[in-house]
């Protein structure tokens, strides 16, 4: 039976008192823990707590505060973050140099009127054009990664007049309908078939396969709008293509008049050791998506940036034809993104990610040599790193062992055979060494448990 409005009002007041409180009582903590488990089971998804079994199988681990490299649960237990929100926290948790500008903007106005010119959106678009390669110039801001991909797909059709898309096996571009149509993992797609039909998937890392797919389509009278790629496949287990792959794909797209979309939502904003991964191969896409760390780990903001030739007359005549997200590029999010760009440039976060990633990889490779029956492969770029284990059960046991030692990480591909190491870019070398010590402890336990 539905609750009365008065009951809902009292519930809202109680919840807000927790948010306002400087310090919770033991009774408060017990109540929040109990409420959280019940609320997820009854009002979110009863499978969620079971799915997050690497965190806990019996009780919820209630995330309550965070700062820099760490988050702290309701009971004050501190965890080192080596998951980084799947790439959100490149600048760290609640970075004070970003938070202060968001607070300052909140004291002015929070959301835009939708009718007057909101200056921060223009300022941010200009900054994005300044920090992206080549002649990338025009921006469109969205709220989530999948939404940015949808805009990129639509823009490619508007600009080229083509209809087909070429994507890759193992790709992950989000879970909205268009984005998941580009995805290359069956588990995410099967329940929604048939999807967008004008999509062909080819082997990742094989540029010749892309050319063959385009050539075959053109030969039979079809038109191709875009090739969409992750410069490194993240969700597929940090799959790094052969050197020269992106350059060759760029040449193929130019040859056939096809737009190249690079999905830099996870690889961009310094994560892989350069501001954008495509810079490592000196490649300029026609459209690039960005997100994850773009809001500094403080506000959600994503988007696309495109070359001038992609911004065709239809977009000038009807600025809303591409999309009109109510909250896209809102002032609070823009303030966070502008502050993030400032912080990254002042502190050379891409360089930090490269140097710390090299340090991490060297130590992880040494662990692989020491425990070859447990760790099968180490791969990565910057602070986007993956450990490959013999089986999902082994990887899960390592992740659980790390969590028991207060280090958070997670698997990829909806299992734990591949486990990502994706910490904040501001992580200290001392903390990296602590993580490596705890990882070795977990490996020793797992080696014994599975008799490896």
Averaged over 316-332, what is the pLDDT?
93
Is pLDDT above 70 for 53? no
Tell how far CA 207 is from the center of its chain.
25
Q: Give the DSSP H or E segment for 402.
A: helix 392-404
**What does each C-alpha distance from 423 to 81, 249, 346 come to in angstroms?**
6, 30, 20
Averaged over 429-451, what is the pLDDT?
97
Residue 78: strand pairing partners: 72
Tell how far CA 380 is from the center of its chain.
15
**What does each C-alpha distance from 168 to 204, 308, 413 come to in angstroms?**
5, 26, 15
Averaged over 312-336, what is the pLDDT?
94
DSSP structure class, residue 288 = E
CATH 3.90.1150.10 residue ranges for the chain: 349-449
Is pLDDT above 50 for 282? yes
Residue-level pLDDT at 181:
93
Averaged over 4-27, what is the pLDDT?
95
Is pLDDT above 50 for 45? yes
Asked if residue 384 lies in contact with residue 232, where contact means CB atoms within 8 angstroms, the answer is yes
Q: What is the pLDDT of residues 194-212, one digit of tens each?
A: 888 899 999 999 999 999 9
CA separation for the pair 394, 417 (Å, rounded): 7
Residue 313 neighbours by CB distance under 10 Å: 8
**96-106 and 331-347 helices cross at what angle (nearest 10)?**
150
Is pLDDT above 80 for 254? yes
Is pLDDT above 70 for 54? no
CA separation for the pair 321, 107 (Å, rounded): 33
Is pLDDT above 80 for 47? no
The pLDDT-based confidence of 2 (bands split at 50, 70, 90) is low
Options 3.40.640.10, 3.20.20.70, 1.20.1250.20, 3.40.630.10; CATH of 97-346: 3.40.640.10
**414 vs 278 pLDDT, higher one:** 278
CA separation for the pair 149, 263 (Å, rounded): 8
Asked if residue 412 lies in contact with residue 235, where contact means CB atoms within 8 angstroms, the answer is yes
Residue-level pLDDT at 57:
45
Averaged over 151-176, what is the pLDDT?
97
Residue-level pLDDT at 48:
72
Which residues fall within 8 angstroms of residue 219, CB to CB, at 6 or more apart? none
Paired tokens of 43 = 């009002």
The pLDDT-based confidence of 51 (bands split at 50, 70, 90) is low
Q: Any idea which residue has 């994850």 for tokens? A: 292
Measuring CA to CA, which residue among 96, 67, 64, 95 is closest to residue 77? 64
Three-class secondary structure of residue 412 per DSSP: strand
**What does each C-alpha distance from 162 to 46, 217, 254, 362, 442 come to in angstroms?**
43, 11, 14, 45, 51
CA separation for the pair 245, 204 (Å, rounded): 10
Q: What is the pLDDT of residues 90-148, one digit of tens each?
A: 999 999 999 999 999 999 999 999 899 999 999 999 999 999 999 999 999 999 999 99
**193 vs 129 pLDDT, higher one:** 129
Mean pLDDT of the chain: 94
Provide the CATH topology of domain 349-449.
3.90.1150
Is pLDDT above 90 for 219? yes
CATH 3.40.640.10 residue ranges for the chain: 97-346
Q: Is 410 left (phi over 0), alpha (psi -120 to 50) or beta?
A: beta
Lowest mean pLDDT among 351-355, 381-385, 412-416: 412-416
Q: Any idea which residue has 């089986």 for tokens? A: 391
Long-range contacts of 36-43 (CB under 8 A, 24+ apart): 36/60, 36/62
Threshold 0.85, pTM exceeds = yes
Residue 200: strand pairing partners: 166
The pLDDT-based confidence of 414 (bands split at 50, 70, 90) is low
DSSP structure class, residue 242 = P
Q: Any idea which residue has 């490269």 for tokens? A: 354
Listing DSSP states for 296-365 in one string gives TTTS--EEEEE-GGGS-HHHHH-TTSS---TTTT-HHHHHHHHHHHHHHHHHTHHHHHHHHHHHHHHHHH
Is pLDDT above 90 for 410? no
Which residues fall within 8 angstroms of residue 56, CB to CB, at 6 or more apart? 49
Averaged over 383-409, what is the pLDDT?
94
Is pLDDT above 60 for 452? yes
**302 vs 45 pLDDT, higher one:** 302
Averaged over 152-162, what is the pLDDT?
97
């Amino acid at each position: 039976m539905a609750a009365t409005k008065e009951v809902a009002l009292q519930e809202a007041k109680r919840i807000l008192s927790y948010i306002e409180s400087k310090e919770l009582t033991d009774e408060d903590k017990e109540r929040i823990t109990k409420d959280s488990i019940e609320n997820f089971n009854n009002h979110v998804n009863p499978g969620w707590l079971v799915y997050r079994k690497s965190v806990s199988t019996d009780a919820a681990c209630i995330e309550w505060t965070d700062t820099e490299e760490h988050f702290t649960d309701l009971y004050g237990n501190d965890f080192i973050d080596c998951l980084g929100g799947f790439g959100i926290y490149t600048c760290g948790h609640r970075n004070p140099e970003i938070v202060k500008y968001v607070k300052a903007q909140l004291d002015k106005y929070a959301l835009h009127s939708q009718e007057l010119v909101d200056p921060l959106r223009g300022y941010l678009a200009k900054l994005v054009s300044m920090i992206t390669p080549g002649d990338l110039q025009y921006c469109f801001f969205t709220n989530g990664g999948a939404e940015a991909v949808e805009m990129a797909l639509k823009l490619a059709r508007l600009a080229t007049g083509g209809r087909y898309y070429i994507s890759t096996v193992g790709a992950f571009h989000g879970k909205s309908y268009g984005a998941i149509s580009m995805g290359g993992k069956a588990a995410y797609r099967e329940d929604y078939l048939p999807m967008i039909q004008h999509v062909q998937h080819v082997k990742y890392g094989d540029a010749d396969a892309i050319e063959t797919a385009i050539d075959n389509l053109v030969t039979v009278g079809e038109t191709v709008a875009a090739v969409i790629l992750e410069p490194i496949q993240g969700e597929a287990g940090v799959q790094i293509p052969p050197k020269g792959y992106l350059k060759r794909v760029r040449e193929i797209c130019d040859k056939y008049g096809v737009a190249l979309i690079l999905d830099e939502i996870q690889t961009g904003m310094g994560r892989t050791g350069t501001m954008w991964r495509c810079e490592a191969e000196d490649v300029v896409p026609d459209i690039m998506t960005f997100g994850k760390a773009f809001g500094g780990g403080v506000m959600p903001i994503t988007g696309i940036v495109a070359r001038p030739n992609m911004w065709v007359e239809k977009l000038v005549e009807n600025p809303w034809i591409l999309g009109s997200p109510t909250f896209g590029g809102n002032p609070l999010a823009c303030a966070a993104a502008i502050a993030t760009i400032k912080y990254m440039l002042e502190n050379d976060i891409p360089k930090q990610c490269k140097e710390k990633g090299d340090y991490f990889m060297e130590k992880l490779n040494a662990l692989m040599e020491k425990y070859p029956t447990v760790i099968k492969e180490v791969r990565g770029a910057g602070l986007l790193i993956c450990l490959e284990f013999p089986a999902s059960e082994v990887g899960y046991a390592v992740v659980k062992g790390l969590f028991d030692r207060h280090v958070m990480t997670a698997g990829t591909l909806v299992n734990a055979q591949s486990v990502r190491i994706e910490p904040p870019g501001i992580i200290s070398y001392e903390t990296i060494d602590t993580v490596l010590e705890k990882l070795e402890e977990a490996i020793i336990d797992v080696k014994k448990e599975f008799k490896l």
